[in-house]
Amino acid sequence: MPLQVRAILAALLSALLLLGNAIAVSADVVSNVRVELGPFTTFNNPCDPSDGPLTVTVIEHRVTRIQSDGTVVLHINAHGTAVGTNGTSYEIVRTFSQADAPGPGGITTEIFIRRISHGADDNALIEMTIAGTTLASTRCVG
């Protein structure tokens, strides 16, 4: 193989390797923080309205990334506790993801909440998807 062809192939291979590395780091993390929220009062327990408003305390882990196409992605994992007015304790696990793509109508949000009762009350599984219109569902499981 002529020396010039080898040099061109080596240059192409180097360019591909550099491009591959650029693609691998295209979702740069711009923020990575932990935040403690609460105590604060929230809406009634959807699975047991007689429980009254819940007092909630959570710790959130928030990560924000920017993808190569300009989309900003926020992902939050939260873990905490809640207490109803009747004294029932709950463990809360929440996942929140939001992608904000460039252009009109580019925001999509997904929220998944597990509220686990430490007593006889039902557990609540709350799922929401928001992309123009809100779709929400709540399941109460014993």
Q: Is 11 exposed, middle or buried (0-12, 13-18, 19+ CB in 10 A)?
A: exposed
Distance CA 94, CA 139 (A): 15
Average of per-residue pLDDT across 100-124: 81
pTM, two decimal places = 0.69
Distance CA 74, CA 63 (A): 6
Distance CA 102, CA 68 (A): 11
Is it the case that residue 9 has pLDDT exceeding 80?
Answer: no
Mean pLDDT of the chain: 79
Distance CA 83, CA 89 (A): 5
